[in-house]
Amino acid sequence: MEFVLVLPLVLAAVLAVVEVAVAARLQLEVSHAAREGAREAAATPEIERAVAAVRRSLPPDAAERARVSVSREHVVGGKAEVVVRLRHRIATPLFGGFEVVLVARAVMRVER
């Protein structure tokens, strides 16, 4: 009888841990994509190439949903900054299906 009472709580806890792990993995991917975009923005003055580098670094479903902003100074040693924002929906209906916004920012020095 106690097992039947505790089982829903255990399942809810397991689902919560899985959702946190998925969101954490996606945050790492967004951070990596921002670094890739900043590296490209630092090496070339073409903003489109930096955006493309970000989108290549993300999983296909996330790449189309990501909002990428790139700012770059046009002097050697200036800043090249990439900010990536991605809305992630928590999939488990148990938690209400709310959304979180994952944000990553990377800055590198302009090389040329």
pLDDT, mean over the chain: 91
pLDDT at 95: 63
Evaluate whether 65 touches 85 at the Cβ level (below 8 Å): no
Answer whether residue 94 shows pLDDT above 70: no
Assess whether pLDDT exceeds 80 at residue 7: yes
Bridge partner residues of 105 (DSSP): 83
Q: Identify the H or E element spanning 77.
A: none
Tokens 């255990």, residue?
10
- Enumerate the β-bridge partners of residue 99: 89
Expressed as residue numbers, the domain containing 73 is 2-109
31 has a pLDDT exceeding 80? yes
Q: How many domains is the chain partitioned into structurally? A: 1
- How far, in Å, CA of 41 to CA of 44, rounded? 5
Q: Is the pLDDT of residue 91 over 70?
A: yes
Provide Rg for the chain, Cα atoms. 19
Contact in structure between 33 and 58 (CB atoms under 8 Å) = yes
pLDDT digits (tens, 9 = 90+) for 33-64: 999 999 999 999 999 999 999 999 999 999 99
Average pLDDT estimate for 66-72: 96
